[in-house]
Amino acid sequence: MRKPWLYDERLKNPNMGRIVYQVIVDRFVPAENLADKQSLYAYPRSLKQWHEQPKGGSFMADAKYWSHELEFWGGDLKSLMTKLDYLKELDIDMLYLNPIFDSLSNHKYDASDYLKISPEYGDIQDLKALADALHQQNQRLILDGVFNHMGVNSPYFQSALDESSPYRQWFYFGQSYPEGVRLWADAKSLPELNLENEAVKDYIYKKESSVIRSYLKQGVDGFRLDVAFDIGYDILKDLTNHAHQEKDSALIVGETWNYPKRWLNAMDGVMNFTLREIIFHTVEQTFSPKKTNTLLEKMVTDCGVDALLKSWNILDNHDTVRLNHRLKQPDQILAEVMQFTFPGSPNLYYGSELGMTGGNDPENRAPMAWDLYDETSERLAWVKRLIQVHKQEKALMVGDYLPLLSESFIAYERHTDDVSDTVLVIINPSEKAQEEHILVPDSSLMNFSKFDILLGDTKEVSMVAGLLKVKLEPKSFVLLKPSTQPEKSYTPYKRV
Protein backbone atom coordinates (compact mmCIF):
# COMPACT_ATOMS: atom_id res chain seq x y z
CA MET A 1 0.00 0.00 0.00
CA ARG A 2 1.45 3.38 -1.02
CA LYS A 3 1.48 5.94 1.76
CA PRO A 4 2.99 9.18 0.46
CA TRP A 5 1.17 11.10 3.17
CA LEU A 6 3.32 9.42 5.83
CA TYR A 7 6.61 10.72 4.46
CA ASP A 8 5.16 14.12 3.66
CA GLU A 9 3.94 14.40 7.25
CA ARG A 10 7.35 13.40 8.54
CA LEU A 11 9.00 16.02 6.34
CA LYS A 12 6.66 18.66 7.77
CA ASN A 13 7.65 17.71 11.31
CA PRO A 14 10.47 20.12 12.25
CA ASN A 15 11.91 17.61 14.71
CA MET A 16 12.40 14.62 12.40
CA GLY A 17 15.69 13.84 10.72
CA ARG A 18 17.05 17.34 11.31
CA ILE A 19 20.66 18.46 11.74
CA VAL A 20 21.51 19.48 15.32
CA TYR A 21 24.52 21.60 16.26
CA GLN A 22 25.65 21.81 19.90
CA VAL A 23 27.35 24.86 21.39
CA ILE A 24 28.74 25.81 24.80
CA VAL A 25 28.03 29.54 24.82
CA ASP A 26 31.11 30.42 26.90
CA ARG A 27 33.37 28.58 24.44
CA PHE A 28 31.99 29.45 20.98
CA VAL A 29 32.86 33.10 20.22
CA PRO A 30 34.64 35.54 22.60
CA ALA A 31 32.63 38.61 23.55
CA GLU A 32 33.83 41.95 22.24
CA ASN A 33 33.16 43.80 25.51
CA LEU A 34 35.11 41.54 27.89
CA ALA A 35 36.78 44.55 29.47
CA ASP A 36 33.36 45.74 30.66
CA LYS A 37 32.48 42.30 32.06
CA GLN A 38 35.46 41.64 34.30
CA SER A 39 33.39 41.82 37.47
CA LEU A 40 31.32 38.86 36.29
CA TYR A 41 34.42 36.66 36.49
CA ALA A 42 35.56 37.68 39.99
CA TYR A 43 36.83 35.08 42.48
CA PRO A 44 36.16 32.20 42.78
CA ARG A 45 35.79 32.47 39.00
CA SER A 46 38.63 33.26 36.61
CA LEU A 47 38.82 34.35 32.96
CA LYS A 48 41.16 32.60 30.54
CA GLN A 49 42.63 33.67 27.22
CA TRP A 50 40.90 32.20 24.16
CA HIS A 51 44.01 30.28 23.10
CA GLU A 52 44.38 28.55 26.48
CA GLN A 53 43.25 24.94 26.75
CA PRO A 54 41.12 23.64 29.65
CA LYS A 55 42.89 21.44 32.18
CA GLY A 56 41.77 19.56 35.26
CA GLY A 57 42.01 21.53 38.49
CA SER A 58 41.82 21.12 42.26
CA PHE A 59 38.85 21.06 44.62
CA MET A 60 38.05 24.43 46.20
CA ALA A 61 36.55 23.55 49.55
CA ASP A 62 35.29 27.09 50.23
CA ALA A 63 33.33 27.18 46.97
CA LYS A 64 32.45 23.42 46.85
CA TYR A 65 33.57 23.35 43.21
CA TRP A 66 36.59 22.11 41.28
CA SER A 67 38.69 25.01 40.05
CA HIS A 68 38.30 24.06 36.36
CA GLU A 69 34.51 24.33 36.77
CA LEU A 70 34.94 28.04 37.51
CA GLU A 71 37.24 28.95 34.61
CA PHE A 72 35.63 30.97 31.81
CA TRP A 73 36.61 31.95 28.28
CA GLY A 74 34.19 34.82 27.77
CA GLY A 75 31.63 33.86 25.13
CA ASP A 76 28.04 35.13 25.36
CA LEU A 77 24.76 35.12 23.43
CA LYS A 78 25.54 38.31 21.51
CA SER A 79 28.94 37.03 20.38
CA LEU A 80 27.32 33.73 19.32
CA MET A 81 24.98 35.69 17.07
CA THR A 82 27.95 37.01 15.09
CA LYS A 83 28.43 33.46 13.78
CA LEU A 84 24.89 32.73 12.61
CA ASP A 85 26.12 32.97 9.03
CA TYR A 86 28.46 30.08 9.80
CA LEU A 87 25.54 28.00 11.08
CA LYS A 88 23.59 28.87 7.95
CA GLU A 89 26.57 27.89 5.81
CA LEU A 90 26.67 24.50 7.56
CA ASP A 91 22.91 24.19 6.89
CA ILE A 92 22.01 23.08 10.40
CA ASP A 93 18.35 22.95 11.49
CA MET A 94 18.62 23.20 15.28
CA LEU A 95 21.01 25.00 17.57
CA TYR A 96 21.29 23.25 20.93
CA LEU A 97 22.86 25.29 23.73
CA ASN A 98 24.45 23.81 26.81
CA PRO A 99 22.83 25.33 29.94
CA ILE A 100 22.49 29.09 30.04
CA PHE A 101 20.61 29.52 33.33
CA ASP A 102 22.05 31.64 36.15
CA SER A 103 24.69 29.65 38.02
CA LEU A 104 28.19 29.89 39.43
CA SER A 105 29.94 27.34 37.21
CA ASN A 106 31.02 27.46 33.58
CA HIS A 107 29.10 24.27 32.72
CA LYS A 108 25.89 25.61 34.33
CA TYR A 109 24.47 22.24 35.32
CA ASP A 110 24.11 23.85 38.77
CA ALA A 111 21.30 26.36 38.19
CA SER A 112 20.67 28.99 40.83
CA ASP A 113 17.69 30.49 39.01
CA TYR A 114 16.16 28.78 35.97
CA LEU A 115 14.17 31.86 35.01
CA LYS A 116 17.24 34.09 34.73
CA ILE A 117 19.95 33.95 32.07
CA SER A 118 23.42 33.83 33.60
CA PRO A 119 24.64 37.47 33.45
CA GLU A 120 27.95 36.65 31.76
CA TYR A 121 25.89 35.22 28.87
CA GLY A 122 23.41 38.10 28.65
CA ASP A 123 19.73 38.39 29.47
CA ILE A 124 16.30 37.25 28.29
CA GLN A 125 16.25 39.89 25.54
CA ASP A 126 19.48 38.45 24.13
CA LEU A 127 17.90 35.00 24.14
CA LYS A 128 14.79 36.27 22.37
CA ALA A 129 16.96 38.02 19.78
CA LEU A 130 18.85 34.78 19.16
CA ALA A 131 15.62 32.79 18.80
CA ASP A 132 14.19 35.36 16.38
CA ALA A 133 17.36 35.41 14.28
CA LEU A 134 17.44 31.63 14.09
CA HIS A 135 13.76 31.48 13.11
CA GLN A 136 14.45 33.93 10.29
CA GLN A 137 17.01 31.38 9.01
CA ASN A 138 14.42 28.59 9.38
CA GLN A 139 16.37 27.17 12.32
CA ARG A 140 15.21 26.24 15.80
CA LEU A 141 16.58 26.81 19.30
CA ILE A 142 16.87 24.02 21.88
CA LEU A 143 17.90 24.71 25.48
CA ASP A 144 19.49 22.34 27.98
CA GLY A 145 17.03 21.64 30.81
CA VAL A 146 18.72 20.58 34.05
CA PHE A 147 15.79 19.70 36.28
CA ASN A 148 16.98 16.73 38.30
CA HIS A 149 19.15 18.95 40.51
CA MET A 150 19.99 22.59 41.23
CA GLY A 151 23.12 24.35 42.41
CA VAL A 152 24.05 24.66 46.05
CA ASN A 153 23.88 28.46 45.66
CA SER A 154 20.23 28.43 44.58
CA PRO A 155 18.09 30.71 46.79
CA TYR A 156 15.58 27.86 46.98
CA PHE A 157 18.18 25.51 48.40
CA GLN A 158 19.68 28.11 50.70
CA SER A 159 16.21 28.81 52.09
CA ALA A 160 15.54 25.08 52.44
CA LEU A 161 18.48 24.75 54.84
CA ASP A 162 16.08 26.26 57.39
CA GLU A 163 13.77 23.45 58.54
CA SER A 164 10.82 25.86 58.64
CA SER A 165 11.31 26.98 55.04
CA PRO A 166 8.45 26.47 52.55
CA TYR A 167 11.11 25.06 50.19
CA ARG A 168 12.32 22.39 52.64
CA GLN A 169 10.33 19.70 50.82
CA TRP A 170 11.82 20.71 47.46
CA PHE A 171 14.93 18.72 48.39
CA TYR A 172 15.76 15.48 50.20
CA PHE A 173 17.21 16.14 53.65
CA GLY A 174 18.10 13.38 56.06
CA GLN A 175 20.77 11.95 58.32
CA SER A 176 21.19 8.98 55.98
CA TYR A 177 22.92 11.27 53.47
CA PRO A 178 26.65 11.93 54.11
CA GLU A 179 26.18 15.67 53.51
CA GLY A 180 22.73 15.77 55.11
CA VAL A 181 21.03 16.12 51.73
CA ARG A 182 20.74 13.93 48.63
CA LEU A 183 23.28 15.01 46.00
CA TRP A 184 23.48 14.15 42.31
CA ALA A 185 26.40 11.74 41.79
CA ASP A 186 27.60 12.83 45.28
CA ALA A 187 28.69 16.20 43.88
CA LYS A 188 28.66 18.61 46.81
CA SER A 189 27.47 21.48 44.61
CA LEU A 190 24.40 19.63 43.20
CA PRO A 191 21.48 18.93 45.59
CA GLU A 192 18.74 16.88 43.92
CA LEU A 193 15.23 18.23 43.51
CA ASN A 194 12.24 16.35 44.91
CA LEU A 195 10.41 15.90 41.62
CA GLU A 196 7.57 14.02 43.31
CA ASN A 197 6.67 17.28 45.08
CA GLU A 198 3.74 18.95 43.28
CA ALA A 199 5.10 22.44 43.96
CA VAL A 200 8.35 21.48 42.20
CA LYS A 201 6.40 20.11 39.23
CA ASP A 202 4.41 23.34 39.06
CA TYR A 203 7.62 25.34 39.10
CA ILE A 204 9.45 23.26 36.49
CA TYR A 205 6.77 22.44 33.91
CA LYS A 206 3.11 22.42 34.97
CA LYS A 207 2.04 26.03 35.49
CA GLU A 208 1.87 28.50 32.63
CA SER A 209 4.52 30.48 34.49
CA SER A 210 6.73 27.39 34.87
CA VAL A 211 10.30 27.26 33.61
CA ILE A 212 9.64 25.14 30.53
CA ARG A 213 6.44 26.86 29.49
CA SER A 214 7.90 30.33 30.05
CA TYR A 215 10.81 29.72 27.69
CA LEU A 216 8.57 28.09 25.08
CA LYS A 217 6.40 31.22 25.16
CA GLN A 218 9.48 33.35 24.50
CA GLY A 219 10.63 31.64 21.33
CA VAL A 220 12.51 28.56 22.52
CA ASP A 221 11.56 25.44 20.53
CA GLY A 222 12.36 22.66 22.96
CA PHE A 223 14.60 21.19 25.62
CA ARG A 224 17.29 18.59 25.85
CA LEU A 225 16.84 17.12 29.34
CA ASP A 226 19.99 16.47 31.32
CA VAL A 227 20.27 13.06 33.05
CA ALA A 228 16.75 12.16 31.91
CA PHE A 229 17.35 8.62 33.14
CA ASP A 230 17.32 10.04 36.70
CA ILE A 231 13.94 11.74 36.20
CA GLY A 232 12.03 8.56 35.42
CA TYR A 233 9.39 7.51 32.90
CA ASP A 234 6.27 8.95 34.54
CA ILE A 235 7.58 12.44 35.30
CA LEU A 236 9.18 12.67 31.86
CA LYS A 237 5.89 11.76 30.21
CA ASP A 238 4.04 14.37 32.26
CA LEU A 239 6.67 17.00 31.48
CA THR A 240 6.57 16.22 27.75
CA ASN A 241 2.76 16.44 27.69
CA HIS A 242 2.81 19.86 29.35
CA ALA A 243 5.47 21.11 26.93
CA HIS A 244 3.26 20.03 24.02
CA GLN A 245 0.27 21.77 25.59
CA GLU A 246 2.25 24.99 25.45
CA LYS A 247 3.68 24.44 21.94
CA ASP A 248 2.63 21.58 19.68
CA SER A 249 5.96 21.53 17.88
CA ALA A 250 8.08 21.57 21.05
CA LEU A 251 10.81 18.94 21.12
CA ILE A 252 11.71 17.11 24.32
CA VAL A 253 14.85 14.99 23.94
CA GLY A 254 16.40 13.19 26.87
CA GLU A 255 19.96 12.27 27.79
CA THR A 256 19.59 8.55 28.41
CA TRP A 257 22.63 6.28 28.51
CA ASN A 258 20.18 3.39 28.27
CA TYR A 259 18.53 1.27 25.61
CA PRO A 260 16.05 3.74 24.04
CA LYS A 261 12.87 1.65 23.75
CA ARG A 262 10.87 2.55 26.88
CA TRP A 263 12.22 6.09 27.14
CA LEU A 264 10.69 6.88 23.75
CA ASN A 265 7.26 6.36 25.29
CA ALA A 266 8.06 9.12 27.79
CA MET A 267 9.72 11.75 25.54
CA ASP A 268 9.80 12.73 21.88
CA GLY A 269 13.31 11.40 21.44
CA VAL A 270 16.56 10.45 23.14
CA MET A 271 20.22 11.12 22.63
CA ASN A 272 20.93 7.74 21.08
CA PHE A 273 23.99 6.59 23.01
CA THR A 274 23.17 2.96 22.23
CA LEU A 275 23.66 3.75 18.55
CA ARG A 276 26.90 5.55 19.43
CA GLU A 277 28.27 2.48 21.19
CA ILE A 278 27.25 0.20 18.31
CA ILE A 279 28.97 2.53 15.83
CA PHE A 280 32.23 2.62 17.77
CA HIS A 281 32.27 -1.15 18.32
CA THR A 282 31.64 -1.55 14.59
CA VAL A 283 34.37 0.70 13.21
CA GLU A 284 36.82 -0.51 15.86
CA GLN A 285 35.91 -4.07 14.81
CA THR A 286 34.94 -5.45 18.21
CA PHE A 287 31.54 -6.19 16.62
CA SER A 288 31.25 -8.19 13.42
CA PRO A 289 29.18 -6.65 10.61
CA LYS A 290 26.64 -9.43 11.07
CA LYS A 291 26.25 -8.57 14.76
CA THR A 292 25.93 -4.86 14.00
CA ASN A 293 23.22 -5.55 11.42
CA THR A 294 21.33 -7.61 14.00
CA LEU A 295 21.59 -4.92 16.69
CA LEU A 296 20.50 -2.10 14.37
CA GLU A 297 17.50 -4.09 13.15
CA LYS A 298 16.53 -4.91 16.75
CA MET A 299 16.66 -1.22 17.73
CA VAL A 300 14.47 -0.15 14.81
CA THR A 301 11.97 -2.94 15.50
CA ASP A 302 11.76 -2.10 19.21
CA CYS A 303 11.74 1.69 18.96
CA GLY A 304 10.00 2.45 15.67
CA VAL A 305 11.29 4.76 12.96
CA ASP A 306 9.15 7.74 13.97
CA ALA A 307 10.63 7.91 17.46
CA LEU A 308 14.16 7.34 16.17
CA LEU A 309 13.79 10.16 13.63
CA LYS A 310 13.25 12.57 16.53
CA SER A 311 16.21 11.13 18.44
CA TRP A 312 19.71 12.53 18.12
CA ASN A 313 22.46 10.43 16.54
CA ILE A 314 25.48 11.44 18.58
CA LEU A 315 29.18 10.61 18.31
CA ASP A 316 30.72 13.17 20.67
CA ASN A 317 29.69 15.94 23.04
CA HIS A 318 30.75 17.74 26.21
CA ASP A 319 30.63 14.50 28.24
CA THR A 320 32.75 12.37 25.91
CA VAL A 321 36.12 12.54 24.23
CA ARG A 322 35.96 14.26 20.88
CA LEU A 323 35.57 12.13 17.77
CA ASN A 324 38.98 13.19 16.44
CA HIS A 325 40.54 12.12 19.75
CA ARG A 326 39.10 8.60 19.63
CA LEU A 327 39.14 7.61 15.95
CA LYS A 328 41.58 7.87 13.07
CA GLN A 329 40.28 9.46 9.87
CA PRO A 330 39.15 6.29 8.03
CA ASP A 331 37.13 5.18 11.04
CA GLN A 332 35.77 8.69 11.62
CA ILE A 333 34.40 8.67 8.10
CA LEU A 334 32.66 5.33 8.53
CA ALA A 335 31.25 6.36 11.91
CA GLU A 336 29.83 9.55 10.44
CA VAL A 337 28.33 7.69 7.48
CA MET A 338 26.36 5.59 9.98
CA GLN A 339 25.47 8.69 12.02
CA PHE A 340 24.02 10.44 8.96
CA THR A 341 22.27 7.46 7.34
CA PHE A 342 20.68 5.61 10.29
CA PRO A 343 17.20 6.93 11.21
CA GLY A 344 17.59 10.00 13.41
CA SER A 345 18.82 13.57 13.68
CA PRO A 346 22.62 13.83 13.35
CA ASN A 347 24.03 15.77 16.30
CA LEU A 348 27.28 17.72 15.70
CA TYR A 349 29.44 19.00 18.56
CA TYR A 350 30.90 22.44 17.89
CA GLY A 351 34.34 22.32 16.30
CA SER A 352 34.31 18.62 15.44
CA GLU A 353 33.50 19.64 11.88
CA LEU A 354 36.82 21.52 11.88
CA GLY A 355 38.81 18.62 13.32
CA MET A 356 39.07 19.83 16.92
CA THR A 357 40.36 17.20 19.33
CA GLY A 358 40.19 16.75 23.09
CA GLY A 359 40.12 14.04 25.72
CA ASN A 360 37.81 13.71 28.70
CA ASP A 361 36.25 16.68 30.51
CA PRO A 362 37.48 19.40 30.63
CA GLU A 363 39.72 18.87 27.57
CA ASN A 364 36.71 18.24 25.32
CA ARG A 365 35.28 21.67 26.17
CA ALA A 366 38.02 23.83 24.67
CA PRO A 367 37.13 27.16 23.06
CA MET A 368 36.15 26.98 19.39
CA ALA A 369 39.29 26.80 17.25
CA TRP A 370 38.28 29.34 14.60
CA ASP A 371 41.85 29.30 13.30
CA LEU A 372 41.06 25.82 11.91
CA TYR A 373 38.31 27.25 9.74
CA ASP A 374 39.27 27.08 6.07
CA GLU A 375 36.77 27.01 3.22
CA THR A 376 39.08 24.59 1.38
CA SER A 377 39.41 22.22 4.35
CA GLU A 378 38.78 18.59 3.40
CA ARG A 379 37.37 17.91 6.85
CA LEU A 380 34.82 20.72 6.68
CA ALA A 381 33.94 19.87 3.07
CA TRP A 382 33.28 16.26 4.11
CA VAL A 383 30.89 17.24 6.90
CA LYS A 384 29.09 19.68 4.61
CA ARG A 385 28.74 16.94 2.02
CA LEU A 386 27.26 14.56 4.62
CA ILE A 387 24.75 17.22 5.62
CA GLN A 388 23.90 17.94 1.99
CA VAL A 389 23.31 14.29 1.09
CA HIS A 390 21.28 13.68 4.25
CA LYS A 391 19.02 16.65 3.55
CA GLN A 392 18.62 16.20 -0.20
CA GLU A 393 17.66 12.51 0.09
CA LYS A 394 14.12 12.16 1.37
CA ALA A 395 14.75 8.56 2.39
CA LEU A 396 17.70 9.55 4.60
CA MET A 397 15.74 12.39 6.16
CA VAL A 398 12.49 10.61 6.96
CA GLY A 399 12.48 7.22 5.25
CA ASP A 400 11.85 3.79 6.70
CA TYR A 401 14.57 1.25 7.46
CA LEU A 402 15.05 -2.11 5.80
CA PRO A 403 17.86 -4.44 6.92
CA LEU A 404 19.85 -6.11 4.16
CA LEU A 405 21.23 -9.61 4.71
CA SER A 406 25.01 -9.51 4.79
CA GLU A 407 27.87 -11.28 6.57
CA SER A 408 30.71 -8.98 5.53
CA PHE A 409 29.14 -5.52 5.37
CA ILE A 410 27.01 -3.27 7.51
CA ALA A 411 24.11 -3.00 5.10
CA TYR A 412 20.66 -1.41 5.21
CA GLU A 413 18.19 0.39 3.01
CA ARG A 414 16.35 3.64 3.64
CA HIS A 415 13.21 4.09 1.55
CA THR A 416 9.88 5.85 1.15
CA ASP A 417 6.84 4.72 -0.86
CA ASP A 418 8.63 5.93 -4.00
CA VAL A 419 11.34 3.54 -5.21
CA SER A 420 13.27 6.43 -6.76
CA ASP A 421 13.97 7.72 -3.22
CA THR A 422 15.64 4.48 -2.13
CA VAL A 423 19.18 4.63 -0.73
CA LEU A 424 21.30 1.55 -0.03
CA VAL A 425 23.98 1.99 2.66
CA ILE A 426 26.86 -0.50 2.51
CA ILE A 427 29.95 -0.24 4.73
CA ASN A 428 33.09 -2.36 4.96
CA PRO A 429 34.72 -1.72 8.37
CA SER A 430 37.41 -4.39 7.95
CA GLU A 431 41.06 -4.02 7.00
CA LYS A 432 40.51 -6.22 3.94
CA ALA A 433 38.65 -5.80 0.68
CA GLN A 434 35.34 -7.64 0.78
CA GLU A 435 33.06 -9.04 -1.90
CA GLU A 436 29.62 -10.49 -1.24
CA HIS A 437 26.17 -11.14 -2.64
CA ILE A 438 23.77 -9.26 -0.33
CA LEU A 439 20.08 -10.11 -0.20
CA VAL A 440 18.03 -6.94 -0.70
CA PRO A 441 14.47 -7.92 0.35
CA ASP A 442 12.86 -5.04 -1.55
CA SER A 443 10.62 -6.32 -4.35
CA SER A 444 10.58 -2.95 -6.10
CA LEU A 445 14.29 -3.04 -6.97
CA MET A 446 14.51 -4.44 -10.48
CA ASN A 447 16.66 -7.15 -12.00
CA PHE A 448 19.83 -5.76 -13.61
CA SER A 449 19.05 -2.40 -12.03
CA LYS A 450 21.76 0.21 -12.42
CA PHE A 451 22.77 2.39 -9.50
CA ASP A 452 24.03 5.93 -9.04
CA ILE A 453 26.67 6.51 -6.38
CA LEU A 454 25.64 9.27 -3.97
CA LEU A 455 28.74 9.04 -1.83
CA GLY A 456 31.69 6.70 -1.46
CA ASP A 457 32.84 4.21 -4.07
CA THR A 458 32.61 0.58 -5.09
CA LYS A 459 34.69 -1.54 -7.43
CA GLU A 460 31.71 -3.57 -8.54
CA VAL A 461 27.95 -3.56 -8.08
CA SER A 462 25.24 -5.55 -9.85
CA MET A 463 21.69 -6.66 -9.07
CA VAL A 464 20.26 -10.03 -10.10
CA ALA A 465 16.95 -11.31 -8.72
CA GLY A 466 17.21 -9.47 -5.39
CA LEU A 467 20.88 -10.30 -4.84
CA LEU A 468 23.22 -7.32 -4.88
CA LYS A 469 26.84 -8.15 -5.66
CA VAL A 470 29.14 -5.58 -4.08
CA LYS A 471 32.90 -5.26 -3.77
CA LEU A 472 34.37 -2.69 -1.36
CA GLU A 473 37.93 -1.74 -0.53
CA PRO A 474 39.13 -1.87 3.12
CA LYS A 475 37.58 0.73 5.45
CA SER A 476 35.24 2.05 2.76
CA PHE A 477 31.58 2.56 2.03
CA VAL A 478 29.10 3.37 -0.71
CA LEU A 479 25.64 4.95 -0.81
CA LEU A 480 23.71 3.67 -3.82
CA LYS A 481 20.53 4.95 -5.42
CA PRO A 482 18.67 2.98 -8.11
CA SER A 483 18.59 4.55 -11.57
CA THR A 484 14.84 4.58 -12.23
CA GLN A 485 14.64 6.96 -15.19
CA PRO A 486 14.48 5.47 -18.72
CA GLU A 487 17.76 5.46 -20.60
CA LYS A 488 15.88 5.86 -23.90
CA SER A 489 12.20 5.02 -23.68
CA TYR A 490 12.06 1.95 -21.42
CA THR A 491 12.33 1.52 -17.66
CA PRO A 492 11.16 -1.48 -15.59
CA TYR A 493 10.34 0.98 -12.80
CA LYS A 494 7.34 2.48 -14.62
CA ARG A 495 4.68 0.81 -12.42
CA VAL A 496 6.37 0.39 -9.05
Rounded average pLDDT over 302-312: 98
pLDDT tens-place string over residues 232-282? 999 999 999 999 999 999 999 999 999 999 999 999 999 999 999 999 999
Based on the residue annotation, tell me whether 255 is a catalytic residue of this protein.
Answer: yes
* Spatial distance between the Cα atoms of 167 and 156, rounded to a whole number of angstroms: 6
**Domain coordinates in residue numbering, the chain:** 4-398, 400-482
Backbone angles phi, psi at 434, to 5 degrees: -130, 145
What is the average pLDDT value for the chain, to the nearest integer?
96
- For a pLDDT cut of 70, what percent of the chain falls above it? 100
Task: State yes or no: is 226 an active-site residue.
Answer: yes
What CA–CA distance (Å, rounded) separates 259 from 273?
8
* Span 146-160, average pLDDT: 97
Question: Cis before residue 178, ω within 30 degrees of 0?
Answer: no
Nearest CA to 88 out of 453, 387, 396, 480 is that of 387
**pLDDT of 144 strictly over 70:** yes
Catalytic residue, candidates 93, 221, 226, 316: 226
Confidence of residue 3 (pLDDT cuts 50, 70, 90): confident
Indicate if the pLDDT at residue 425 is higher than 60: yes
CA dist 395 and 122 (Å) reads: 40
Residue type, 305: V
Mean pLDDT (whole number) for 364-384: 96
Superfamily of structural domain 4-398: Glycosidases (3.20.20.80)
CB 269 within 8 A of CB 253: yes
d(CA 403, CA 20): 26
Query: Could you tell me what percent of the chain has a pLDDT over 90?
Result: 94
pLDDT for res 33: 87
Rounded average pLDDT over 407-415: 98
Report CA Rg, the chain. Answer: 24
| pLDDT(30) > 80 | yes
CB 354 within 8 A of CB 367: no
Q: Rounded to an integer, what distance in angstroms lies between the CA atom of residue 205 and that of residue 236?
A: 10
- Contact of 253 with 239, CB cutoff 8 Å: no
CA pair distance 403, 389, nearest whole angstrom? 20
Higher pLDDT, 381 or 1: 381
pLDDT at 1 over 60: no
Query: What pLDDT, on the 0 to 100 scale, is given for residue 178?
Result: 94
* Alpha carbon distance 496, 491 (integer Å): 11
pLDDT exceeds 60 at position 14: yes
Angle value at C-alpha 475, between 478 and 317, nearest 5 degrees: 90
Say whether 400-482 and 4-398 share the same fold: no
What are the strands of the beta sheet with 410-415, ordered from one edge?
400-403, 410-415, 423-428, 476-482, 451-456
Q: Supply the pLDDT for residue 2.
A: 62
Grade residue 392 by pLDDT with cuts at 50, 70 and 90: very high
| pLDDT(459) > 70 | yes
Q: Which fold has domain 400-482?
A: Immunoglobulin-like (2.60.40)
Categorize the per-residue pLDDT at 64 as very low, low, confident or very high, splitting at 50, 70 and 90. Answer: confident
Phi-psi category of residue 262: left, alpha or beta, with phi > 0 → left and psi -120 to 50 → alpha: alpha
User: Active-site residue among 120, 255, 268, 393?
Assistant: 255
Split at pLDDT 50, 70, 90, the class of 156 is very high
Q: How far is the CA of 151 from the CAs of 96, 108, 148, in angstroms?
A: 22, 9, 11
Tens-place pLDDT, residues 19-28 = 999 999 999 9
pLDDT at 418: 95
Per-residue pLDDT at 389 exceeds 80: yes
